[in-house]
Structure 1
Amino acid sequence: MPPLPPITQAIILINVALFCIDIALGGMLTWWMELWPVTSPNFMPWQVVSYAFMHGSITHLLLNMLGLWMFGGEMERLWGPKRYLQFYAAGALAAAACQLIISMVAGWGNPMVGASGALFALLMAFGMTFPDRTILLLIPPIPIKAKYLVMIYGAFELYQGVAGTQSGVAHFAHLGGMLGGWLMLRYWAGKPPFPPRKLGSRGRF
């Protein structure tokens, strides 16, 4: 694997540093930075961004950072730092928006943390950009093409979100991240629901 590009490396380092600081502070940092529902008195505007840099456990952190290493570095090398950062932010914000809307409709009161929304956006982009790239899963250890992995993850998250079979996992935020990533690709390409791009503007998808 080539060295991690700068933005992906910085995001991973920030996530790890904040996790360590939060442990040292006894969890107080998470309380300020996790995303609370808008109906909660604990909700603050900055949480729609800060939640994506906090994690609830070492396993949660390691899995998300592994995903960033696998998919984020590849997409940053393709897009460059500026476009990659825009895409990452779009995924995180879309995941936050989806979670806030669903929380309001369903009456949920629990906060959310994690980079999973942005990671699912990157997974969507990876699958659309390299659909036939083979990925070796960890559990179970089987090879699978990227396009099928995206479809399986999307279907799984939709099922789990609707069925509500796993409490404590923000399935709709994951779907929101995938939707945000897909919309960002459509915007760059000048495809519906967005107007066509002007001649000479960049667009790959």
Structure 2
Amino acid sequence: MTERTFNLNNSVAPVTLRLIIINTLIWLAQMVAEHRFGIDLAQLLGLHYFPAEDFSITQALTYMFLHSTDGINHLFFNMFSLWMFGSVIERFWGAKRYLFFYLTCGLTAGLAQELVWHYELRSLIPLANEMINLGDGIVRYGREILNLPVTVGASGAVFGLLLAFGMLFPNSVIFLFFLPIPIKAKYFVIIYGLIELFLGINPSWGSNVAHFAHLGGMLGGFILIRLWRKKGDIDGPYN
């Protein structure tokens, strides 16, 4: 196995920096469009269920660059994680492989979300032109209900980076804000993945979060890393 010097520093690698800037600028554009012009960019560019009227294949890419405008938390934690894990991975893989990996994880996350929606909403597809009683006096066409779910955010791609970090640097120690004890990256990834699985299976615990999309990003990253290692394109782990 090739030996490399493992060095975590605080500088931001160039592609990671550009991704952070792009996500932040788009979030600001969302805020301006919504509050100044009444345009909901999430509705236009966020990922919809594929049978929905507002679905577009380009949303599989655009959704991962938008974030919730209800506050800054969604954007901040995604960009913080992108900086924390992405910069290190980019330095080891180089810009092109890193960006391909990031986008692929975002795409597999979107695919996972589509599969979840299909499991939940497929029975409504034949009822698209019929009125459906949702209770409490709310009646809507089936096509309107199919159009309601929207997913935005870089979380799926970021979870792919988290998985990659755990596979490349399994013995690196991570310190968390909410857990004041050190934990090795390999254990952190396993625990986080199990938590996401639990919350995905029990949605009442996980609020309005696309947990299976996060798992889809991790799964896509895992498969890609295994393929690259089998072909000899990458090595590791590095510690």
Deviation, 1:174, is 0.4
The one-character-per-residue Cα deviations of 1:45-86 (angstroms, maximum 9, x if unpaired) are 110011100010310000000000100001001100010011
Task: Please show how residues 19-168 of structure 1 align to structure 2 within 5 Å.
Answer: 19-26=27-34, 27-56=39-68, 57-107=71-121, 109-165=148-204, 166-168=206-208
> 2: distance between equivalents of 1:95 and 1:185?
16
**TM, length-normalised to structure 2:** 0.79
Contact 1:38 1:100 in 2 (8 A): yes
- 1:25 counterpart SS class: helix
Give the letter aligned to residue 174 of structure 1: H
Deviation at 1:3, TM superposition (A): 2.3
User: Which residue does the alignment assign to 1:181?
Assistant: 221
Q: What is the CA–CA distance in structure 1 between the aligned matches of 2:198 and 2:28, rounded to whole Å?
A: 34
Shift of 1:181: 0.3
| Segment drifting more, 12-21 vs 2-11 | 2-11
SS of match in other structure, 1:72: helix
Relative contact order, CA 8 A, sep 6+: which one is greater?
Answer: 2
Q: Which residue identity does 1:203 align to in structure 2?
A: I
From the CA coordinates, give the structure whose radius of gyration is larger: 2
Larger mean Cα displacement after TM superposition, 104-113 or 86-95: 104-113
Letter in 2 for 1:139: F
In 1, the alpha carbon distance for the partners of 2:85 and 2:10 equals 13
* Residue matched to 2:140: none
**What secondary structure is seen at the aligned counterpart in 1 of 2:183?**
strand
Task: Percent identity, please.
Answer: 42
The offset of 1:140, in angstroms, is 2.6
* Cα drift, residue 2 of structure 1: 4.2
**Greater fraction strand:** 2
Conservation of the 8 A alpha-carbon contact between 1:39 and 1:104: no
Count how many residue pairs are aligned between Structure 1 and Structure 2.
Answer: 196
Indicate if the aligned counterparts of 2:42 and 2:150 stay in contact, CA closer than 8 A: no
TM-score (norm. length: structure 1):
0.92
